């Protein structure tokens, strides 16, 4: 049995003259929580649609749990999918929707499902047409986690949830990984990804520009220094190793890689009242690829 839950080789998708995904090689290990990051238009949703067999690649291949995604029926028996905007059958109650999801998947842990309904504070007696976006999301999450599928594919799964329910989602993810399930998580919530994921992949304009452990990614992309100064500071953007400079009420915040010696030399004639350093957060690493305005979306 392959150690990979998801494998792609040269996965490419064109929509006319638009290249939505370009030559993506990716491997997601069984049992891990893998974060998939990128701004709108970077190719995340296209990747998910290809993995789910909803569209066919222009070229390249993709497998889930060793099954070619072209075999949609067989592949879908092994996975559960939660979209970012869940559509339900409007005339069915929440309970009937969960029952139908279980029939479609073929298996369900009914005891665990009942626990999840209570934990997510979901009124399953209501008809789906009366549900808010957050409650529709809860139905899909309960159905996915209760299926005990080997692979959980989730696209913005906490969209519409309040902070308490987001915490419940994180507990469910921890329980799933304890059972050996794999989670492929596409999300814009970088704090959520940083909390849950061991590894991440970063997409830019359809190309996979980085795959790394979260901790290694932070180290690779350096240090953040907060510099307080009682007088004017020189232009630090041109200092070797500095990738970003942001003004703060007391001075500047600088993101950099490599030795800090050139920066300290540039500050040697200034009145520095405080200097604090830390590793860059995942959000800061992400913005380093795209710029503060999300540059790179297509």
Of the listed ranges 108-122, 137-151, 271-285, the one predicted with least confidence: 271-285
280 pLDDT above the threshold of 80? no
pLDDT at 295: 44
Task: Name the more confident of 222 and 208.
Answer: 208
pLDDT band at 244 (very low <50, low <70, confident <90, very high): confident
**Which is higher by pLDDT, 29 or 277?**
29
Taking only the tens place, the pLDDT of each residue in 161-200 is 999 999 999 999 999 999 999 999 998 778 888 889 999 9
21-34: pLDDT as tens digits? 999 999 999 999 99
Amino acid 2: pLDDT: 65
Domains of the chain: 4-217 (3.40.50.300), 222-279 (3.30.70.260)
Quick check: 294 pLDDT over 60? no
Q: Is the pLDDT of residue 255 over 50?
A: yes
Give me the mean pLDDT over the 35-61 stretch.
Answer: 93
Q: Does the pLDDT of residue 271 top 90, yes or no?
A: no
Residue 13: band (very low, low, confident or very high) from pLDDT cuts 50, 70, 90: very high
For residues 89 and 190, give the distance between their C-alpha atoms in angstroms, rounded to a whole number: 32
Residue 291 confidence (pLDDT): 60
Report the percent of the chain where pLDDT is more than 70. Answer: 95
Task: Report the chain's mean pLDDT, rounded to a whole number.
Answer: 90
């Amino acid at each position: 049995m392959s150690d990979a839950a998801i494998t792609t080789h040269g996965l490419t998708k064109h929509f006319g003259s638009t290249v939505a995904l370009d030559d993506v090689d990716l491997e997601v290990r069984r049992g891990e929580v893998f974060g998939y990051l990128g701004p709108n238009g970077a190719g995340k949703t296209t990747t998910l649609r290809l993995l789910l067999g909803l569209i066919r690649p222009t070229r390249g291949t993709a497998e889930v749990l060793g099954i070619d995604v072209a075999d949609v029926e067989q592949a879908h028996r092994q996975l559960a999918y939660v979209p970012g905007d869940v559509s339900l059958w409007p005339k069915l109650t929440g309970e009937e929707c969960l029952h139908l999801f279980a029939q479609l998947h073929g298996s369900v842990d009914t005891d665990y499902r009942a626990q999840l309904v209570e934990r997510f504070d979901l009124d399953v007696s209501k008809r789906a047409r009366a549900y808010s976006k957050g409650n529709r999301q809860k139905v899909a999450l309960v159905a996915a986690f209760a299926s005990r599928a080997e692979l959980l594919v989730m696209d913005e799964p906490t969209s519409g949830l309040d902070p308490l329910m987001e915490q419940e989602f994180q507990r469910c993810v921890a329980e799933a990984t304890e059972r050996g399930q794999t989670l492929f998580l596409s999300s814009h919530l970088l704090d959520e990804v940083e909390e849950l994921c061991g590894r991440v992949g970063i997409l830019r304009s359809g190309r996979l520009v980085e795959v790394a452990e979260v901790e290694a990614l932070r180290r690779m992309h350096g240090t953040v220094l907060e510099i307080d100064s009682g007088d004017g500071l020189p232009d630090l953007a041109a200092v070797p190793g500095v990738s970003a400079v942001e003004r703060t009420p007391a001075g500047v915040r600088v993101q950099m890689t490599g030795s800090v010696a050139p920066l300290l030399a540039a500050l040697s004639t200034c009145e520095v009242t405080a200097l604090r350093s830390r590793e860059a957060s995942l959000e800061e690493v992400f913005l380093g690829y795209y710029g503060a305005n999300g540059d790179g979306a297509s």
